Amino acid sequence: MTESTAQDLVWHRGKAYRKGYTTGSCATAAAKVAALMLLRQQRIDQVSIVTPSGVPLHLSVEAATVAQFQAVAAIRKDGGDDVDATHGMLIFARVTRNSGTSIDITGGEGIGIVTRQGVGLPVGAAAINKTPRHTIEQAVREVIGPNQGVTVEIFAPEGIERAKQTYNAKLGIENGISIIGTSGIVTPMSEESWKRSLAIELEQKKAQGHRRVILVPGNHGERFVRQQLHLNHEMVVTMSNFVGYMLQEASRLEFEQVLLVGHIGKLIKIAAGVFHTHSHVADARLETLVTHLALLGAPNALLQQVYACLTTEEALVLIEQHGYQAVYTALAQRICTRVADMLRYASHPFCCDVVLFSYDNQILGCHRPIDTILEDYQ
């Protein structure tokens, strides 16, 4: 994506906004080209990858060095017109031969370390998320073949300083940035334009004859519906953080049933009446969890521990230890009540269903039996 083409742009009110690519794409491209250089024993100045969303990227390689057993390469992060804390920084990969056949992925200088539970990675691991880990391994394996092994170290010399501009410290990720990205592409878009594009997808589902729709916050929810619930992918629409807006649109379009499926850390906000779930707008996750635990009679010591957690995922461990998993059903029921309250004056209210899950893809709670919900949406 060194030049902007029509497919690289998002248009809003007559202005073109340039797309970018994630730190995950940078790390994947850097690892791939370093592995190529190691294999060929020569420097390479350009590399191509295909992102998880199927978009091809053609990227310039910087700071490339190659030796007999090791090669290093860097890709400069470009967020397009959606500039963030990592925009413009170099993401490096160092690929070193090892004696086995495995591909070991580690984090070096400037890559954060997970110090608390709740971000989908084990404590002590480098903050390289699952999708980038998979794309790095896949890209390197294609280069080195099935019978060789390498260690891939992802590092970013500016990472410690840049991370101060992110939420990593609040999430328990220390001393560096995260390597993230589920699609590989950064898409800038104004909120109103974004909301409208999501509503258009709802309209398409209705036009295709669907009477039921499944709303998910993003890629994680979409995968959960497909892989864990085994429901028809054609019913799924992403709502992002615009929960209230998309529910109102579903009512306007006269859907009969709407199933909300998402990680508890996102959907729990609805139980508190928060229908725009971006953390910049409102965040009452732990307060809501503590309230519902208290209503179930949980002891004060547990309430204090949960309230001190950084993430809902971290709190799940405490809840299980104390046997208060019934809180998830209570939360799911409260979410349905909140949705019904919001749509109480709607001309065409729908039946709302809720499924909450954890980072390890386990169903935590539903407002009614999961088998009954799945039967309705088959």
Same domain, yes or no, for 353 and 234?
yes
Convert 135-158 to b/e letters by CB count within 10 Å (16 or more is b): bbbebbbebbeeebebbbbbbbbb
Answer yes or no: is pLDDT of 312 > 60: yes
Which of 186, 218, 243 marks a domain boundary?
Answer: 186
Same domain, yes or no, for 67 and 161?
yes
Q: Is the dihedral of CA 206, 208, 212, 217 positive or negative?
A: negative
CA 40 to chain centre: 35
Q: Which of 15-29, 91-105, 349-363 has the lowest mean pLDDT?
A: 15-29
Same domain, yes or no, for 179 and 307?
no
Same domain, yes or no, for 110 and 201?
no
Higher pLDDT, 166 or 356: 356
Query: CATH number for the domain including 37?
Result: 3.30.2110.10
* pLDDT, tens digit (0-9, with 9 covering 90-100), for 206-250: 888 999 999 999 888 999 999 999 999 889 999 989 999 999 999
Residue holding tokens 């980072």?
359
Cα 181 to Cα 127, 184, 186, 283: the distances in Å are 12, 5, 8, 23
If you average pLDDT over residues 296-319, what whole number do you get?
95
Q: Which residues pair with 185 in a beta bridge?
A: 21
Predicted pLDDT of residue 4:
35
Amino acid present at 127: A
How far is it, in rounded angstroms, from Cα 144 to Cα 102? 11
- Indicate whether 1 belongs to any domain: no
Higher pLDDT, 329 or 13: 329
Same domain, yes or no, for 26 and 140?
yes
Q: 6 pLDDT band (50/70/90 cuts)?
A: very low
Higher pLDDT, 5 or 61: 61
How far is it, in rounded angstroms, from Cα 110 to Cα 90? 11
Predicted pLDDT of residue 1:
46
Same domain, yes or no, for 21 and 131?
yes
* pLDDT, tens digit (0-9, with 9 covering 90-100), for 30-81: 999 999 999 999 999 999 999 998 889 999 999 999 999 999 999 999 988 7
Predicted pLDDT of residue 15:
65
How far is it, in rounded angstroms, from Cα 195 to Cα 340? 21
Most confidently modeled range among 196-205, 251-260, 341-350: 251-260
Answer yes or no: is pLDDT of 3 > 50: no
Q: Which residues pair with 285 in a beta bridge?
A: none
Predicted pLDDT of residue 188:
64
If you average pLDDT over residues 89-112, what whole number do you get?
97
* pLDDT, tens digit (0-9, with 9 covering 90-100), for 17-26: 678 899 999 9
Cα 25 to Cα 151, 156, 182, 183: the distances in Å are 18, 14, 9, 9
What tokens were used for 353? 């269903």
- Indicate whether 31 belongs to any domain: yes
If you average pLDDT over residues 274-294, what whole number do you get?
92
Same domain, yes or no, for 220 and 112?
no
| Domain housing 281 | 191-377
Backbone angles phi, psi at 142, to 5 degrees: -60, -30
Average pLDDT over all residues of the chain: 91
Number of independent structural domains in the chain: 2
Q: Which residues pair with 58 in a beta bridge?
A: 48
What tokens were used for 244? 């209230």
Q: 9 pLDDT band (50/70/90 cuts)?
A: low
